[in-house]
Structures are given as C-alpha cells and as structure tokens.
Homo-oligomer: A and B are copies of this chain.
Amino acid sequence: MRIAFKALLLLLLSVVTFEIFAQVVAWDSTFRPATYHVQVEQHKAYPASRKDIVFLGNSLTAHPNWNELLKNKHVKNRGISGDITYGVLERLDDVIAGKPAKLFILIGINDISRNIPDSLILQNYKKIVARVKAGSPATKIYLQTMLPTNNNFDKFKRHYNKEEHVSYLNKEIKELGEKEKVTVVDLHPAFSDGEGRLKQEYTHDGLHLTAEGYKVWARVLLEGKHLK
C-alpha cells in the first residue's frame, strides 16, 4: 500500500514536471513571437519616469496608441503581441526598475490558448503582484479582467470556446485584487454580449479589438477615474 502510494506520487510528480517543462519549451522554441526580444530591447531603451502609467500585456494592449486613446502623455505601451504570463514575468524587472506611478495589466488569453493550466496562470498573476509590490511599493497596480472571445470568427481557433477558463480566472483575479488590496478594472462585462461572446461590433477576428472596442476600454478606464 505504501509503495503503491509512493509510485502514484512519483507518477503525478512526473506528469506535473513534464507539463511545466513542455510549456517552457513551447514558449521558447516554438511559440515565442519572432520579434519578442527586439521589442523587449526597444522598451528597455525608452526613458522612464516616476509619472509613467505603464500598460503591460499582449497584443490587446500593444495594438492601439494609448497616449492618443486616453489623451494622456504619461501612458507607456508595454504590450507585446503573443505574450503570456511567463513573458510578463520575464520582463517585469524592466517595468519595476522604472518605478512607474501606475501599472495596468491585462494578460492570460494566450496562456489559455496554449492550454497552460489555470492554476499556473493564477500562480503567475500572484507572482506578478508580489514582485511589483516588493520592487516598487509606490506603484499602484490595476488588474484588468480578461475579455471574452467570439467563436463566430475562425482565425484564432485555439482562443475561442475557452469561456470556462476566462470566467474562472476573472473570478480569481477579483479575489486576488481583494486579498492584495489591488484595484481590479472589470473590463469583461462591457465587452460581453448576451451569450458571453465578445461583442461582434468590437472585434474583427473574435479576439482583437476594433477602434469601437478600444473606445469602450478607454471609457471604462476614464469613467472609473483610474488614470487620475
């Protein structure tokens, strides 16, 4: 009985180890966007200020010009297309070093598309919050809830039909915010139609946002007075 238990434990451990290892390998050798490091270097090269309002995330954050969208010269776009929570953790020291006034984070949908377990994504969220708090205590952190996707499109098949994961993680993000006394900007409801899909008029591919979509995001931030 005791041996059977040990064997089971060993098996479980191998599975978990393999899973984590497989993800890291996938990120590094297959899926990391081609110009990821170029963009990281570009971000490092920009001047930093204690007045910075950093927007950190994936393509959803990277696509628009936030200075124009929010009419705010302090906003710094640190979105990189295709990024996942592991990438954010890798480049978090660059953000922390600048000691920005505010840090807005939206990350996770690409983790979900790669089938990275929710528990690992959540663990990474916790690490992100803890490291920012420790490294730059004056930085006000804003966690933004993940947006829905829309499977009426067909370009990002690995991203659609993951509502269960988005919804679970958004619930956990809110709990994390409460526990860590970090503001949560609940974007999800403003983008969701009656059936939980990303509203058709806010997207052109079921994942990314149109100008109309970005207007909504900007409105949620401005009406919440989060930029003040």
In the complex where A35-B204, A204-B35 touch, is A214 in contact with B42 (Cβ < 8 A)?
yes
Chain B nearest CB from A51 CB (Å) reads 13
Q: Could you tell me how many residues of chain A have their Cβ less than 8 Å away from some Cβ of chain B?
A: 25
Q: What are the residues of chain B within 8 A of A38 when measuring CB–CB?
A: 204, 208, 210-211
- A65 surroundings in chain B (CB, below 8 A): 46, 65, 76-77
CB <8 Å contact, A68 and B76: yes
Is B45 within 8 A of A211, CB to CB?
yes
Interface residues of A in 54-101 (CB under 8 A from B): 63-65, 67-69, 71, 73, 76-77
Contact A42 B64 (CB under 8 A): yes
Contact flag A47-B64 (CB < 8 Å), given A38-B204, A38-B210, A211-B42 = no
- Say yes or no for A41: interface residue by CB 8 A criterion: yes
Copies in the complex: 2
* Bound-state Cα–Cα, A204 to B33, Å: 14
For the complex, give the distance between the alpha carbons of A38 and B67 in Å: 18
Residues of B within 8 A of A214 (CB): 42, 45
* C-alpha spacing A68/B77, complex, angstroms: 10
Q: Is A157 an interface residue (CB 8 A)?
A: no
Can you list 7 A-B pairs with a CB-CB distance of less than 8 A?
Answer: A35-B204, A38-B210, A42-B64, A45-B212, A46-B65, A65-B65, A65-B76
